[in-house]
């Protein structure tokens, strides 16, 4: 007897091939048959008339590194069809690390990941992954070694270039992380402490993971006036280290870049034509999301959050800082403070500001924008997240049509006014961009959500509807699938995704979360392959 039989579905198998009619049988957490079934006896059965069965969606850019300990059911993600997440993004995560660096990183990115009450007693990637496995989240998880925590462990928050010995030490830590099961190296080159690194440092660390066939995943150095140089820097790192390059949240934003996505994508295509292994992911929204402290002048960002807040409060520095901030945010994205909305704060005293644009929030407090931002960051100990409305619709569409395009939510799950991508990324693509606007085909979209990301990170046991693979599956109504979350109500679950299966066990059944937590930790084998173990 099978554990689950899905009857009468059309199958989008993850390859991009046309849909085909087939039944799917699951037993022991794996797909055992695809086609006309010889036996339909099963403990559970789904009559899938009008539905498409696809592989579970693989989120190539997730910020669930700590929230999975606090909310392991992970309903915002599972209800939009996500079954696997890649953590350790933007160089901002928690292993491998010295205890001192781990404490600073927890404090620095509370506004992104929260800070649940757990024992932060690991120092290695293996220790973190073991703790994650013990939390039994609903989704599968894989991990990248984050450059920021390496630099924090070796150099602290020092605003200087690393020495050869320090680069070697960071490289050894990265190699240890790969041996423990990480799949690659991530950078967040606009954030402290990584913003003080140079190309030589990243190449040196990336070379250390090359023997493990790791991938370089980058939030590159500039998304505004130096976008071309930043994209080229990532290509240089990949070439010199001899590893693939994957660009995170590849948005081309700011008014001067309107209609110019092709100029940047042409650089990737030229690299690919020359034999370089390059890919990218995006989300289908015009707003990004990060923490407000990343947008203040770089000269005051060295140190712990408390040290930065003290600098912002210093009467000797304050007048010049207020004036500099008033002129606008750091220019690595071309925008103004009016493009920024407060998404989350730590304290109740500023809760009324969540959902307001920065000038509106400043006016509510009766302050000029520069003084308001300084005061807010000091009061909240830098724990303020924001949405940044800097995107360009035609560029979003153009990137989505690129042959290497895959999907990542980049979802920040803490805060009172979070980004709707946390619950709406995949249904927005399938509902708006596929069904309503025809920007890409249904099969191509499913490929970008499943098989392509599985191939990109070397998953050997999921990403396709194929006998023998893990039964990570999502059932989709292509006529009704749609996001219902908005910037005002970002947590509303989507329509048209009635069933989600992880390792053969339903986590969403008939549109309702089951509370099941069957996710497993995926670890690399050091040879470019990864599977749950």
pLDDT surpasses 90 at 502: yes
Q: What is the pLDDT of residues 74-101, one digit of tens each?
A: 999 999 999 999 999 999 999 999 999 9
pLDDT surpasses 90 at 332: no
CA separation (Å) from 526 to 22, 179, 197, 240, 288?
36, 6, 26, 20, 33
Domain boundaries, the chain: 57-286+391-497, 290-388
**Runs of H (alpha helix) within 274-416:** 305-313, 318-326, 358-365, 369-379, 393-400
- Which of 148, 146, 145, 102 has its CA nearest to residue 123? 102
The region of weakest confidence among 210-224, 316-330, 424-438 is 316-330
pLDDT of res. 52: 98
Q: What is the mean pLDDT of residues 448-457?
A: 98
pLDDT surpasses 70 at 529: yes
Q: What does residue 374 show for φ and ψ, rounded to 5 degrees?
A: -60, -50
Which residues in 27-47 are b (16+ Cβ under 10 Å) and which e?
bebbbbbbeebeeeebebebe
Q: What is the pLDDT of residues 149-208, one digit of tens each?
A: 999 999 999 999 999 999 999 999 999 999 999 999 999 999 999 999 999 999 999 999
pLDDT of res. 331: 67
Interatomic CA distance for residues 502 and 13, integer angstroms: 16
Q: What is the pLDDT of residues 359-393, one digit of tens each?
A: 999 999 999 999 999 999 999 999 999 999 999 99
- Name the fold adopted by 57-286+391-497: TIM Barrel (3.20.20)
Q: What is the mean pLDDT of residues 502-527?
A: 98
**What percent of the chain is modeled with pLDDT above 70?**
100
pLDDT surpasses 80 at 334: no
* 8 Å CB contact between 45 and 501: no
Interatomic CA distance for residues 379 and 38, integer angstroms: 66
């Amino acid at each position: 007897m099978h554990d689950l039989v899905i009857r009468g579905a059309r199958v989008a198998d993850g390859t991009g091939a046309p849909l085909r009619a087939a039944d799917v049988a699951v037993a022991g957490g794996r797909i055992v048959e695809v086609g006309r079934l010889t036996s339909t006896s099963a403990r559970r059965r789904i009559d899938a008339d009008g539905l498409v069965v696809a592989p579970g969606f693989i989120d190539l850019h997730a910020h669930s590194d700590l929230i999975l300990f606090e909310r392991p059911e992970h309903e915002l993600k599972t209800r939009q069809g996500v079954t696997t997440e890649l953590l350790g993004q933007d160089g901002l995560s928690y292993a491998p690390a010295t205890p001192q660096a781990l404490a600073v990183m927890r404090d620095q990115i509370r506004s992104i990941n929260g800070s649940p009450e757990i024992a932060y007693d690991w120092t290695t990637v293996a220790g973190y992954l073991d703790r994650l496995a013990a939390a039994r989240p609903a989704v599968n998880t894989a991990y990248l070694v984050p450059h920021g925590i390496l630099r924090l462990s070796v150099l602290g928050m020092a605003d200087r270039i690393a020495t050869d010995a320090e680069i070697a030490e960071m490289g050894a830590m990265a190699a240890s992380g790969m041996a423990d099961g990480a799949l690659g190296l991530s950078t967040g080159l606009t954030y402290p402490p990584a913003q003080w690194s140079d190309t030589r440092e990243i190449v040196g660390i990336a070379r250390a993971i090359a023997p493990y066939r790791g991938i370089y995943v980058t939030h590159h150095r500039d998304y505004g006036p130096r976008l071309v140089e930043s994209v080229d820097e990532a290509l240089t790192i990949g070439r010199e280290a001899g590893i693939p390059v994957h660009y995170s949240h590849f948005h081309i934003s700011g008014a001067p870049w309107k209609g110019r996505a092709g100029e940047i994508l042409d650089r990737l295509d030229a690299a690919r034509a020359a034999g370089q292994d390059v890919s990218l992911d995006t989300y289908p929204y015009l707003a990004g999301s990060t923490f407000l402290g990343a947008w203040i002048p770089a000269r005051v960002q060295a140190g712990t959050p408390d040290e930065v807040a003290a600098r912002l409060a210093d009467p000797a520095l304050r007048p010049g800082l207020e004036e500099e901030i008033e002129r606008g945010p750091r220019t690595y994205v071309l925008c103004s403070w009016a493009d920024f909305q407060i998404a989350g704060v730590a304290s109740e005293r500023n809760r009324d500001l969540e959902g307001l644009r920065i000038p509106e929030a400043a006016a509510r407090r009766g302050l000029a924008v520069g003084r308001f931002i300084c005061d807010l960051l000091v009061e909240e100990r830098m724990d303020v997240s924001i949405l940044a409305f800097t995107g360009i619709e035609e560029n979003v569409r153009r990137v989505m049509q690129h042959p290497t395009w895959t999907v990542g939510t980049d979802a920040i799950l803490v805060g009172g006014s979070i980004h709707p991508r946390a619950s709406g990324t995949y249904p927005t693509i399938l509902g708006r961009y596929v069904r309503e606007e025809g920007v890409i085909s249904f099969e191509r979209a499913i490929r970008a959500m499943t098989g392509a990301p599985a191939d990109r990170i070397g998953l050997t046991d999921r990403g396709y509807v194929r006998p023998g693979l893990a039964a990570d599956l999502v059932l989709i109504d292509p006529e009704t699938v749609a996001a219902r979350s908005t910037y005002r109500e970002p947590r509303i679950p989507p329509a048209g995704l009635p069933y989600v299966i992880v390792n053969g066990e339903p986590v969403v059944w008939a549109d309702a979360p089951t509370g099941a937590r069957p996710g497993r930790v995926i670890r690399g084998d050091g040879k470019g392959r990864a599977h749950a173990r």
